Structure 1
Amino acid sequence: MKTFEFLILGKNQPILETLLRLVNNYENWNAIGFDDEKLAQDYFLKNKIDIVLLSSAIEDQVEKEFTTFCLKHHPEVEVIEHFGGGSGLLKSEILHRLHLKGKI
């Protein structure tokens, strides 16, 4: 089974840490998190990322610019905005998106 690589960008450190823990708890999901979009962009360019999760406390302009950046450099990447709702909702959002794109 394919391992999905995640990049999580969020400015709220406790929420970012929670998302990292939740995503990394699932078999075949591997996540790294950033609270700085420039560092996240550098990592994104150097690694094969399947899913970008945008978390809380990101300014609207930064969110738009980061999404545009990701899709420009890797159009197949899935960018998902996740602002809460618990681990069940997070997993459902991710699996739904992967299913729609035929990736699972």
Structure 2
Amino acid sequence: MKKLEFLILGKNEPILEILLRLVNADEDWHAVGFSDEETAKDYFKQNLLDIVLLSSGIEAESEKDIQYFFKAEQPEIEIIEHYGGGSGLLKCEILEALERRRKRKLSEKQA
């Protein structure tokens, strides 16, 4: 089974490190992290990803721009805005995003 690929973007380096550790703890998931939007965009353009996880420290206007960019480049990407709440909440948010994706693909097949 192919690992799910994540891009994590956040300005708070200690939190970014924690998120990377939590996501990469799942053997079926692989995450890379960035604190710079332009570097994240460059990586995104070069790689097919499953989930983008946005974390703390990103300005509101910049967050809107980056979400638009990600959706324009890869419309099927799931974007999660995670701003705290612990590892249990993070896992639930990821599982919900994966379920939305599964349902969307199922409905596309039926159409």
Q: Same fold (TM over 0.5)?
A: yes
Q: Quick one: distance in 2 between partners of 1:79 and 1:99?
A: 13
Q: Where does residue 101 of structure 1 map in the other structure?
A: 101
Which residue is equivalent to 2:91? 91
Q: Deviations along 1:32-76, whole A, 9 cap, x unmatched? A: 000000000000000111100000010001110000000000000
**Structure with greater Cα Rg:** 2
Q: Which protein is richer in helix relative to its size?
A: 2
State whether structure 2 residue 72 is matched by structure 1 residue 72: yes
Q: What amino acid does structure 1 have at the position aligned with 2:86?
A: G
Return 5+ residue gaps in structure 1 as ranges: none
Q: Aligned partner of 2:44: which letter?
A: F
Q: Deviations over 1:70-90 (max 9, x none)?
A: 000000000110001111110
Q: Displaced runs of 4+ in structure 1, greater than 3 A?
A: none
Count how many residue pairs are aligned between Structure 1 and Structure 2: 103
CA positional deviation for 1:101: 2.0
User: What displacement does 1:96 show?
Assistant: 1.1
Gaps of 5+ in 2: 104-111
TM-score (norm 2): 0.90
RMSD of equivalent CA atoms: 1.0
The TM-score normalised by the length of structure 1 is 0.96
SS, match of residue 101 in structure 1: helix
